[in-house]
Structures are given as structure tokens and as C-alpha cells.
């Protein structure tokens, strides 16, 4: 089992004992979904959770989010708060699933959702699209409880965006192609620190944010297998990847300088590359510390 078994065992013992977890319980990273736009069996869209005691902080809501939360043994009736890194579809396709299904599964309070400008409009459009569902579930024999608002949206700017009960979440702006707003997040709580990159090309701000963190969860593509694609415009594919995402070699350099205790690769754009090819790329970049390939459900 990957990660820190002592922490996981402590959490499982606490759950088995039926006690509610306290803020003393360690912050644990759960890889809820490690995919990207390409559908893959057994791999859900981008989503990472940080669990601190009984609180679950979710970063992005990719396709299949509710099933992925269930598979990861995390709550399906609403997380403590959602943080969206950016509004690309692969990171937000699960938003209607998270909002609507968590309500049907018993959520009784508004879902707090933090993210870039545009998240409020996206959420409003989702609620409008499913207006009849929302109406009939309340008016009909299901007797669902109406919640107003269904989502409490916070459109954020860089800085501390959440600070409550010993958990602080800090956002930094990262460069991600032509998107106007993309954020990486750092979570500090229970004596642990975690950085989640979201999607970004190499970012000095993200590198500074990650200095000495316990866990750096970072997107990556395989430099070894990056080629022009056989389609109209496909000759620009390597340039696109270079401008929008972070290669394994570049990530190795970032990690060598920021020195996380563990580097976890997610949002794995392999283009056919094997685990060992990706890891060799990180090593070529100069990182000699602990690095792992992320899989859905892994805990660190
Ligand atoms: Zn993405
Ligand atoms: Zn993206």
C-alpha cells in the first residue's frame, strides 16, 4: 500500500471505532481521480481530496466524481468544501454530479465552492439546466429538502482563500495556456502541507509555494512520447503541450528545487509512455527524492 501506512491505519482505526475524527487527525491526500480528458477504464477525471479529521476538502470535480468518491470511501452526501483549479471541462464535468447527486444522497446544507471567476455563472447554468429535476424531487414523493442556495460560490483571487478550524488554503495563479484564470492550491492543516498543481506549465510561483511541503501533487506529461499528431493542426501539439502543461523532465527540476517529501504524479498524460519512462523523465530533471505514479484511490 502506498503512502504513509501509520496515518492510514490511524484513520481506519478511528473510523472502525465509530468516533468522529478530530482536528488532531492527520491531513491525508486521497487521489480521487488521476485522469485527463481521455476516458480510461478505472480512471476518473481530475480530483484530489485532502482529508483533515472529519472534513473533506475536494480539489476539482472531474467526470465520475460521485462514483470516484464512493470508491475512495469518501462522503457522497457532500464534501466540506470544493476548490476548483480552473474551468476546463475535464476538471468540472463532475460539478453537476457533485451538486445534484450529493443532494439526493442527503446533503442538507449549501455546498461551498471556491474557484476562478466564471464559477458562479457555470454553477447557475447547471442549476438552470436541471431546474425541473430540482423542482420535482422536492414537490414529488421523494420529499427532498430544498436548499437555497444549493451552492455557495466564492470566486477567488490569489491569496488565502479559506482559513477555518486549523485548515488554511492558499491559492496562487498559475499559467495554463489561454485560460484567464487557473490556480494551484496549498493546504496547511494538522501539521502537514500539501500542494495541488491543477493544470499548469512550469510555474515559479507554484515552485515557491511548494518549498519543503510534505506532498506535492503535480500534473505531468511524458516528454519522451510527445510527437506531432496526425490530424489537421496536429503539428502544433508539442508546442501546445509545452505552453500549457508540465513535462516529466520539467517537473523533475521543479521538485529538485522545491524539495517536497513526496512527489505524486497525477493528470497523467502518458501518450503511451510507461510508468518507468515517466519516472525516468523526473529523474532526468534532477529530482532524487521520493516520487510515485498516482492511481485512483491512493492515499498519502
Ligand atoms: Zn486538465
Ligand atoms: Zn486544463
Query: What is the Å distance from ligand 2's center to 290 Cα?
Result: 26
Centroid of ligand 1 to alpha carbon of 46 (angstroms): 7
Going residue by residue through the chain (300 aa), what tens digit of pLDDT does each one get? 444 445 554 544 444 433 444 445 689 999 999 999 999 999 999 999 999 999 999 999 999 999 999 999 999 999 999 999 999 999 999 999 999 999 999 999 999 999 999 999 999 999 999 999 999 999 999 999 999 999 999 999 999 999 999 999 999 999 999 999 999 999 999 999 999 999 999 999 999 999 999 999 999 999 999 999 999 999 999 999 999 999 999 999 999 999 999 999 999 999 999 999 999 999 999 999 999 999 999 999
133 as an active site residue: the answer is no
The pLDDT of residue 274 is 97
Q: One of 90, 188, 296, 298 is an active-site residue; which one?
A: 90
Distance 182 CA to ligand 2 centre (A): 8
Q: 148 CA to middle of ligand 1, Å?
A: 31
For residue 237, how far is its CA from the centre of ligand 2 (angstroms)? Answer: 15
Tell me, letter by letter, the H, E, C secondary structure of the chain: CCCCHHHHHHHHHHHHCCCCCCCCCCEEEEEEECCCCCCECCECCCEEEEEECCEEEEECCCCCHHHHHHHCCCCCCCCCEEECCCCCHHHHCCHHHHHHHHHHCCCCCCEEEEECCCHHHHHHHHHHHCHHHHHHHHHCCCCCCCCCCCEEEEECCCEEEEEECCEEEEEEECCCCCCCCCEEEEEEECCEEEEECCCCCCCHHHHHHCCCCCEEEEEEECCCCCCCCCCCCHHHHHHHHHHHCCEHHHHHHHHHHHCCCEEEEEEEECCCCCHHHHHHHHHHCCCCCEEEECCCCCEC
Predicted model pTM? 0.92
**Ligand number with the minimum distance to the CA of 221:** 1
CA of 199 to the centre of ligand 1 (A): 6
Among all ligands shown, which has an atom nearest to the Cα of 86?
2
Which ligand neighbours the alpha carbon of 46 most closely? 1
User: Among all ligands shown, which has an atom nearest to the Cα of 35?
Assistant: 1
Amino acid at each position: 500500500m502506498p503512502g504513509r501506512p501509520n496515518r492510514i491505519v490511524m484513520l481506519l482505526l478511528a473510523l472502525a471505532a465509530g468516533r468522529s475524527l478530530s482536528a488532531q487527525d492527520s491531513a491525508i491526500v486521497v487521489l480521487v481521480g488521476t485522469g485527463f480528458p481521455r476516458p480510461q477504464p478505472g480512471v476518473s477525471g481530475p480530483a484530489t481530496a485532502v482529508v483533515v479529521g472529519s472534513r473533506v476538502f475536494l480539489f476539482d470535480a472531474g467526470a465520475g466524481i460521485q462514483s470516484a468518491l464512493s470508491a475512495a470511501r469518501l462522503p457522497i452526501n457532500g464534501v466540506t468544501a470544493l476548490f476548483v483549479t480552473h474551468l476546463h471541462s475535464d476538471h468540472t464535468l463532475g460539478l453537476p454530479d457533485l451538486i445534484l447527486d450529493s443532494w439526493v444522497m442527503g446533503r442538507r446544507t449549501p455546498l461551498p465552492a471556491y474557484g476562478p471567476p466564471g464559477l458562479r455563472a457555470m454553477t447557475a447554468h447547471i442549476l438552470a439546466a436541471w431546474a425541473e429535476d430540482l423542482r420535482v424531487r422536492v414537490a414529488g414523493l421523494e420529499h427532498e429538502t430544498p436548499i437555497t442556495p444549493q451552492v455557495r460560490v466564492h470566486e477567488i483571487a490569489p491569496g488565502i482563500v479559506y482559513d477555518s478550524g486549523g485548515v488554511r488554503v492558499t491559492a496562487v495563479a498559475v499559467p495554463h495556456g489561454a485560460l484567464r484564470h487557473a490556480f494551484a492550491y496549498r493546504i496547511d492543516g494538522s501539521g502537514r502541507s500539501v500542494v495541488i498543481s491543477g493544470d499548469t506549465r512550469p510555474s515559479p510561483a507554484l515552485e515557491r509555494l511548494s518549498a519543503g511541503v510534505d506532498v506535492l501533487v503535480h500534473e505531468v506529461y511524458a516528454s519522451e512520447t510527445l510527437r506531432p499528431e496526425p490530424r489537421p493542426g496536429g503539428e502544433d501539439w508539442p508546442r501546445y503541450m509545452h505552453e500549457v502543461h508540465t513535462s516529466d523532465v520539467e517537473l523533475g527540476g521543479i521538485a529538485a528545487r522545491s524539495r517536497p517529501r513526496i512527489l505524486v504524479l497525477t493528470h497523467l498524460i502518458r501518450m503511451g509512455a510507461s510508468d518507468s519512462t515517466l519516472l525516468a523523465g523526473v529523474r532526468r530533471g534532477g529530482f532524487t527524492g521520493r516520487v510515485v505514479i498516482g492511481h485512483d484511490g491512493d492515499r498519502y
